[in-house]
Structure 1
Amino acid sequence: MTCEEYSFIGDSPMRRRLTLSEMREFYLSFFEKNGHTRISRYPIIARWRDDIFFTIASISCFQPWVLNQTIDPPANPLVMSQPCLRFNDIDNVGKTGRHLTEFEMMAHHAFNTGDRSVYFKDRTVELCHSLLLELGIKPEEINYLEAEWSGGGNSGPCFEVVVGGVELATLVFMMYEDTPAGKREMEMQVVDTGYGLERFVWLSRGTPNTYEAIFDYLLSELKREIDVEEDEEILSEYSRLAGMMNVESKADLNKLRRGVADRIGISVDKLIEKISPFEDLYAVCDHTRALMFMLNDGGIVPSNVKAGYFARLLVRRALRSLKALDLKTPLRDILSLQIEHFKDDFPELMENRDDILALIDVEEKKYERTIIRGRNIISKLDEGLKKEGRDTISIKDLIHLYDSHGLVPEIVSEFSGLRVEIPDDFYIRVASIHEKVEEGEKAREIDIPEVRETELKFYEDSYVKKFKARVLKKFDGYIILDKTYFYPEGGGQEPDFGKIDSLSVIDVQRVGNVIIHKVRGDLGRIRENDLVECEIDWDRRLQLTQHHTATHIINGAARRILGNHIWQTGAHKSEELGRLDLTHHSRISEGEREEIERLANEVVSEKRKINIGVMDRGRAEKMYGFRIYQGGAVPGKDIRIVDIEGWDVEACGGTHLKNTSEVGRIEIVDTKRIQDGVVRIEFKAGKALERYAEGQKELMERLNIEVPKEDLQKISSTFSVSVEQLPKTIERFRREWKQQVRELKNMEGMLSNLTGERYKFSDRYKELPSGDPVRAYEQLFGEWKSQRKEIKRLKKKIQEILTEKLNERFRSDFIEKKGVRIVKEISVGLDVKNLIEMAKSTVKENSLLIIANKIDKRANILVYSRSRFNAEGIAKDLSKRLGGGAHGNRNLAIGGGSSNRIEKILREFEVENGF
């Protein structure tokens, strides 16, 4: 980090002003002329790795597989310009003049091994120096600062290249692997350089900050829409001084602002007033460009989990800034301008444009709904904190409100009546919580004897049903063979079953390179070194294989129907059901489900060939792209590629068919939203589908309706359950519909008694809906929901009236015993929560409240005491008389029993106890 004032602002040391596109091309061409091979960028989403979400540096593209020499680099030496994403400085974006979340790292890399030495320190510095000279920078203006670099488990010396006070590049010489025992020299020594494209452009233009240099095309549009005075002197001084500081805290920022204010001769408040709009403008420019790359590169939907969390973070920060600016331009329109600007350099943006903008639209609508709900959430929090005697919403509360409800701190501050202190590094804090990639579920650990690795014959021919093999070891109910066609559990596919001689194979697992077979039966009948007859349960294997191939077919169909953001996040293939989890922003509609199913069955009927083969990782990535990693990162030099011709290509280790026609008809039996940003498709094929169809027929007989399959799907969607669950679900809703009508009538009767008014909301529910099944069940569900809503409203109304009544009774209509005011009351239909709220708001010092609350044939007893009388004892006595029990303490107790004799029992209790 440099500590000198920027000297190039208004006085660029470069020969000419360059755009991002021009500077990128200048750099790449320079290194091509100097013996480097230009390679294309990698995705900004690091799909080939399971330890990070995003590509954070150009070297990330080659970790771990190139650096550990599992595969060869795509070229050596190479040059590239790699879009990167980092969130560790997100709160400084827009404020310091140089920080960005998304940036391009121009880089040249050389990979030196014992077999081939390319170049190292001297040549790296020589190339860097020549590049800067060609750009017109004078030698005396170039500074090389020696330092040490470490990251990702590696380290080595480096040079920081500084011109005019700004660090333009870092030249790292990766030589060591960092281990618990200390540094160990790497077998491969790597030239790892990083040249900041945006900083080079900034230097060439000499603008007040990097944002004015790289986002001029967008800022010119946005500035026209806001009424703000642009003072270039202030912006320039601000950036000049920022170059001398490491702005990491609010104290650093305040110090910077004081320094600028003193230099210019204005107050700090006036300075903030002048620069704040620009800080928001710059943040919007940065965040929308970052979103453009994130959403373009696939598999990310703004959500509250994993990589999607960071997309949502950027959207909501950008929306917050637009609100602060009172800028009416929709976020999607700003994204559209970004895409238009970058489309020539990144043509894929136009291909995904509609998908990117649709994702932004959906997320913006979600945020609007969040704001509407936010007032009530924050109001309840305020109320709770006040009861605890707190007058401040803490940082912990702010993080919880953001993570759980999506409420940004500025909205909390606007809606809350309490003091809200927003830390300057709030978004850095929340980002750091979510940056660590969660480890997947660990496989079962089974200790096995030392034995040679198993020949995996199921990859050679997955259609073999019987084979002979030799027993290498047997232990703890397991058998290890020298070779096997039994497929072990993995990749979401359940294991094969079958026979080894007379023993039943009930599980197959992979431990390293050894396959172990769990068997049931007398293991003593088999000895080590025996040649055994093995038979696979072919019906099961075929069914699992059909479901696995169907998974790939449906994945391709979903991507074509729902958009390029579709990415597999999980899958499971059992004998009865296939399950596919996908990134998607909304529930899958009935129309979308039908289209996905139609398209999947088209692929089946087209009899497409399925090609399966093992390929070098680098060649596979180059040929098919990184979409092959649908099931997650795959280890190793060689990867198994399953290619459904012209439809879907994935790295996959499961069993597959030779032709799509062998899958048979595919039917999607259910779709559901399983978490924010993830939907699940459940489907059947083969004999599982035949059994399902038979079950459907029986189901319609049980429901006593004749409807096509599509209508059953619609009815199940109405109730958000699977088709198989419909009979029980419909029965439950009918029962609850009737029960809620009774409950409404009881509460209406009580309200009439309390107010003298007539309530007849229940009159609209004379009989259960009937007629067309789809419409009837939609009406049943709609009426059920309306009933619940009205019951909740009536409970609240009864609670309010009773609370007022109880307050009046404690003033003038009570029984007094031993200096204690005692009130008894009977209510109808209230929840225990209502009763407790009523009690706490009415019972004062030296008072006792007893409430009997009737719900159908049950009764709740609540006793609340702020007196010498023991609430728990009273509640237990009354509940015992009702045939029930009670629990609580001397102040508050809850009990209950039958409601049959409640009035009589209260009178008996009064006679016996005097109240």
Structure 2
Amino acid sequence: MSQATTGELDLEFFSKHNFSKKRCRICGSYFWTGDKSRTTCGDPPCDSYSFIGQSPTVSKYGLAEMRQKFLSFFEGTHKKIDPYPVIPRWRNDVLLVNASIYNFQPHVTSGRVKPPGNPLVMSQPSIRMNDIDLVGATGRHLTSFEMLCHDSFNYPDKEVYWKEETVEYCFNFLTDSLGIDRQLITFKEKPWTGGGNGGNAFEVFVKGLEVATLVFMDLKEDPNGPIDIDGTRYSKMSLRIVDTGYGLERLTWLSQGSPTVYHAVFPDVVDAIIRNSSVASENGDLLEVLSKTAASFEPFSETTLIKKVAEKLSTLNPDEIKRSFEFYKKVFALSDHAKTIAILLTNYAIPSNVRVGYLLRLLLRRSFFYLNTLKTDLALFDLVKMQYNLIRDILPPLDQEFATKIIDSEKKKYEDLMGTGKAAVLRLVDRKKKIDTEDLVSLYDSHGLNPEFVADVVRTNRGIEIEVPENFDTLVVSRHSQVRRENEEVESLPDLFTRPLYYDDPSIREFNALVLYSKGDTIIPNQTAFYPEGGGQPSDVGTITAAGKQFRMLKAEKRGNAILHHLDGQIPERTRIIGKVDSFVRDRHTAHHSATHLLLGTLIKVLGKHVWQTGVQKGINYSRIDITHYEKITDDTIETIEQECLKAIREGHEIKVRNLEWNRALDLYGFRLFQGGVPDGNHIRVVEIEGIDAEGCGGTHLTNTSQIGFIKIVKAEPIQEGIQRITFCAGDAALEYVQKLHRNERRIEQITVSTMENVTETVEKLYNENLSLKKEKSKLEKDQVTRAIESGIRIAGPGGEGILVNLGQYQHLLNLVTKAILSEGIEVGAVVISETGSLRVSIISRGSIAADSLARSLAEKTGGTAEGGSRFATVNIRGTDEILINDLLSKLLKQVLNA
């Protein structure tokens, strides 16, 4: 898409304010400027950071002041929206909120749901870790930031504002509100794409610093579209969206003109780390040169940066520059990570080896590494709390007990890994004679070993230098930040609608319908009472009768607005049918579904607000729910949860179902609504147990908690780090489970001749007695084996030592004797076992003598049969003449050992 030829960004605003369109003499991009003499676009490396030490704003602002300055500028013209969580529970295609537009994708941007305000303004905490290796190194990169935005959504029948007004708002905020000279501002034209959409955009620069991006989103991906952007085709969409992003930290930095963004946004944290470090290598004059130089070339390289700075500062040698650079990089990265950790912990992220948990663990481990190498006695939690206090106005509350437990637990795991990590590294390098990037990533993922630690271990202990990629952590993040999408092929079906009678009246079990579509054993009726599989609730089953013939309905499946019914036979289209739902299955599923909601609400109450549902499956006899939780759930806690559930059942809470407009539902219940997944309509079906739980859900439910009866937790177990699985049963299924337990207990009482009062003590006594007898038996068997080996006939020769052992009828000792023979280093052994009317000889070899060959020789001489391999073979011999057999074996052993 050529901006020069389309002219779509040639706005009246620029003419009115005497801005000229120019082409950058360095990069060739088109830009708009009020400075007649300007020849560059303002984007580094075409321009340098000229604001450092020379702020263009009339005042200096802190984060809170700049945020309020922006929000108040739009007061009265835009609706202020509160920040969304950084973990986007309302969508399943991304792990973290990277920008404010993520709050409205895809439900609002697709036109399915109205925006919460139009136009709107907000400040949205965001996390981007794709440049994590540059954090601390360039003076400008961050893993977390606030994106200020003013957005508008233009519909065919409602125009709010578009390009002209957007640029004017931006210009007026920068000039009127911040006092920036208009000639210092450049608007660089650059197409934008992302998330299946695209559009024209301006990147806005002031004195070399990008302070905003103004996106005019009016394109959607379309393989047959007329517009090409970087090889992808797009076509126009009816909804036109103004998506702006102003960097709060960038604007704050611009106003202060400090050497780095870190000094501008969290100076107290930076100072605290420097003051407490025993390896401080400060050089304040160097910082400004480092930041300006880092922005003067692409792509970034630490080696190139050190070289360029050394050319500018002849008074410092490269080693001094590198030492100071490494020190500051660690200080700034640690400061930044503490902030991002604070944001994630207020969103109740839990460290693990997958998804968001992995990214949190990465930040924690990097932070522990920096604390160690900076040799500071600061606690990470103290830094996290300092950062939280700086931005607490736009974050949920920080649960200090939760945060402390998470950080302390991860620190212990990190220290344990460092303790065992050295041996793992040395084993690997001794085996491979080198360690490459893949090995470094593997060591980090499996052992949590920082690449610098690995390099130091190998250098110190093996004298081998390892090259650590400058973008190592970025490589790691890229492997764990992508959400896998299932590309399941779905058969094309006609656009049909099946009325869900199970919502109209959940008690309906029999209904009439007309078959609208039929193919093979699948039909789509015009209405149904069969609940289709979804939300962890299995499909109903039952029967369908057509023309006097009954078919089994095996599974119902929702596809768009249609509900497919899979049968054990075929029914033609336009046939009238009678459906009958299996009440037993439906009632069990319904009871378990309502019990799941009650249990989840109780788990949050008892365990904490960090609990989120990650998976669920309802069944007839048992159901399960997977939740986020950082430690094993104890038996005492399980009992507390069960008691709380029983209390709610006795109180008889009404279970209400309401269909609410998306934004209205969020206003009432918040983002906990998305426990069970992401709804695909413009309304959310909210199932609420008043005072206990409210979540979006499409399943079938009881009308009151009293109908559940009671809930029995069968077991709670970790299924992966940070995830606990709770298996439970409810209602009739719970009663059946308890009755089964009681029957088993009664049977144990009968077997052990005990009573209910002392059955546990009796079983424990029997168990301990049995354990004691097993130990005694094991000791006796070992003594027998020792005597058998000691009384065996030993035969020596150039080929090693052999032994002939007679076990008599103690066949059960053969395995122990075999182990004893091999453990003594004996080359070959023969063990004779007496059986009724026959003898069996086992030949055991360490490998140099073929056991099967020796067995065949013995079989030939005795008329027996041989079988086995080179290490273990057996000869079965009729007769019981052990003296003869011992004599033959002795001769054979001497023969093979002297060969």
Give me the TM-score of the superposition, normalised by structure 2.
0.82
**Alpha-carbon distance, 1:112 to partner:** 2.1
Which SS does the other structure have where 2:558 is aligned?
A: strand
2:424 is aligned with 1:377: yes
- Structure 2: how far apart are the matches of 1:200 and 1:854? 89
More moved, 667-676 vs 368-377: 368-377
**Alpha-carbon distance, 1:558 to partner:** 1.1
2:201 is aligned with 1:158: yes
Query: Among residues 118, 130, 137, which one is paired with 1:76 in the alignment?
Result: 118
**Alpha-carbon distance, 1:98 to partner:** 0.6
2:152 is aligned with 1:101: no
Question: What is the aligned partner in structure 2 of residue 282 from structure 1?
Answer: 332
2:381 is aligned with 1:329: no
Contact 2:855–2:875 at 8 Å: present in 1 too? no
More moved, 353-362 vs 665-674: 353-362
Question: What is the aligned partner in structure 2 of residue 364 from structure 1?
Answer: 411
Which SS does the other structure have where 2:427 is aligned?
A: helix
Question: What is the aligned partner in structure 2 of residue 798 from structure 1?
Answer: none
In the alignment, residue 240 of structure 1 is paired with which amino acid?
Answer: K
Contact 1:96–1:247 at 8 Å: present in 2 too? no
2:259 is aligned with 1:211: no
- Structure 1: how far apart are the matches of 2:593 and 2:585? 12
List per-residue Cα deviations over 1:397-432 (Å, max 9, x = no partner): 121122223232233334444433322111111111
Which SS does the other structure have where 1:224 is aligned?
A: helix
Which SS does the other structure have where 2:716 is aligned?
A: strand
Which SS does the other structure have where 1:49 is aligned?
A: coil
1:682-697 alignment to 2 at 5 Å? Answer: 682-697=727-742
- Structure 2: how far apart are the matches of 1:91 and 1:834? 56
**Alpha-carbon distance, 1:459 to partner:** 1.2
More moved, 356-365 vs 825-834: 825-834
**Alpha carbons of structure 1 residues 746 and 226: separation in structure 2 relative to 1, 3 Å:** farther
Question: What is the aligned partner in structure 1 of residue 536 from structure 2?
Answer: 492
**Alpha carbons of structure 1 residues 402 and 111: separation in structure 2 relative to 1, 3 Å:** same
- Structure 2: how far apart are the matches of 1:356 and 1:612? 35
Question: What is the aligned partner in structure 1 of residue 131 from structure 2?
Answer: 89
Query: Among residues 231, 239, 250, which one is paired with 2:283 in the alignment?
Result: 231
- Structure 1: how far apart are the matches of 2:681 and 2:766? 53
Unaligned runs of at least 5 residues, structure 2: 1-42, 225-232, 806-813, 834-839
2:877 is aligned with 1:913: no
1:196-345 alignment to 2 at 5 Å? Answer: 196-227=247-278, 228-248=280-300, 252-264=301-313, 265-298=315-348, 300-345=349-394
Query: Among residues 63, 78, 88, which one is paired with 1:20 in the alignment?
Result: 63
List per-residue Cα deviations over 1:216-255 (Å, max 9, x = no partner): 122232222123243210111111111212354xxx2111
Which SS does the other structure have where 2:663 is aligned?
A: helix
Question: What is the aligned partner in structure 2 of residue 516 from structure 1?
Answer: 564
The structure with more radius of gyration = 2
**Alpha carbons of structure 1 residues 503 and 410: separation in structure 2 relative to 1, 3 Å:** same
List per-residue Cα deviations over 1:125-152 (Å, max 9, x = no partner): 2211111112122122222222222222
**Alpha-carbon distance, 1:281 to partner:** 1.7
- Structure 1: how far apart are the matches of 2:819 and 2:541? 53
In the alignment, residue 235 of structure 1 is paired with which amino acid?
Answer: L
Query: Among residues 620, 625, 628, which one is paired with 1:583 in the alignment?
Result: 628
**Alpha carbons of structure 1 residues 594 and 367: separation in structure 2 relative to 1, 3 Å:** farther
In the alignment, residue 557 of structure 2 is paired with which amino acid?
Answer: Q
**Alpha-carbon distance, 1:154 to partner:** 2.0
**Alpha-carbon distance, 1:678 to partner:** 0.7
**Alpha carbons of structure 1 residues 823 and 375: separation in structure 2 relative to 1, 3 Å:** farther
- Structure 1: how far apart are the matches of 2:139 and 2:589? 57
More moved, 132-141 vs 373-382: 373-382
**Alpha carbons of structure 1 residues 481 and 147: separation in structure 2 relative to 1, 3 Å:** closer
Which SS does the other structure have where 1:625 is aligned?
A: helix
In the alignment, residue 469 of structure 1 is paired with which amino acid?
Answer: A
**Alpha carbons of structure 1 residues 447 and 696: separation in structure 2 relative to 1, 3 Å:** farther
Unaligned runs of at least 5 residues, structure 1: 716-726, 756-808, 843-847, 888-892
Query: Among residues 473, 486, 508, which one is paired with 1:464 in the alignment?
Result: 508
Question: What is the aligned partner in structure 1 of residue 797 from structure 2?
Answer: 815
Contact 1:863–1:874 at 8 Å: present in 2 too? no
Contact 1:829–1:853 at 8 Å: present in 2 too? no
**Alpha carbons of structure 1 residues 826 and 650: separation in structure 2 relative to 1, 3 Å:** farther
Question: What is the aligned partner in structure 1 of residue 520 from structure 2?
Answer: 476
- Structure 2: how far apart are the matches of 1:542 and 1:322? 57
**Alpha-carbon distance, 1:470 to partner:** 3.2
More moved, 7-16 vs 425-434: 7-16
- Structure 2: how far apart are the matches of 1:427 and 1:879? 66
**Alpha carbons of structure 1 residues 849 and 754: separation in structure 2 relative to 1, 3 Å:** closer
**Alpha-carbon distance, 1:750 to partner:** 8.0
In the alignment, residue 314 of structure 1 is paired with which amino acid?
Answer: L
Which SS does the other structure have where 1:71 is aligned?
A: coil
Question: What is the aligned partner in structure 2 of residue 758 from structure 1?
Answer: none
Question: What is the aligned partner in structure 1 of residue 51 from structure 2?
Answer: 8
- Structure 2: how far apart are the matches of 1:88 and 1:834? 58
List per-residue Cα deviations over 1:578-631 (Å, max 9, x = no partner): 100011112111122122222122221111111112222222223222221112
In the alignment, residue 715 of structure 2 is paired with which amino acid?
Answer: D
- Structure 2: how far apart are the matches of 1:873 and 1:48? 70
1:386-397 alignment to 2 at 5 Å? Answer: 390-397=432-439
- Structure 1: how far apart are the matches of 2:758 and 2:678? 37
In the alignment, residue 910 of structure 1 is paired with which amino acid?
Answer: L
Contact 2:858–2:875 at 8 Å: present in 1 too? no
**Alpha-carbon distance, 1:213 to partner:** 1.1
**Alpha-carbon distance, 1:635 to partner:** 1.6
**Alpha carbons of structure 1 residues 585 and 156: separation in structure 2 relative to 1, 3 Å:** same
List per-residue Cα deviations over 1:540-573 (Å, max 9, x = no partner): 2111111111111111111122221111110000
CA RMSD, aligned part only? Answer: 3.9
**Alpha carbons of structure 1 residues 913 and 54: separation in structure 2 relative to 1, 3 Å:** same
Which SS does the other structure have where 1:404 is aligned?
A: helix
- Structure 1: how far apart are the matches of 2:401 and 2:819? 48
- Structure 1: how far apart are the matches of 2:708 and 2:687? 15
**Alpha-carbon distance, 1:51 to partner:** 1.0
- Structure 1: how far apart are the matches of 2:759 and 2:187? 72
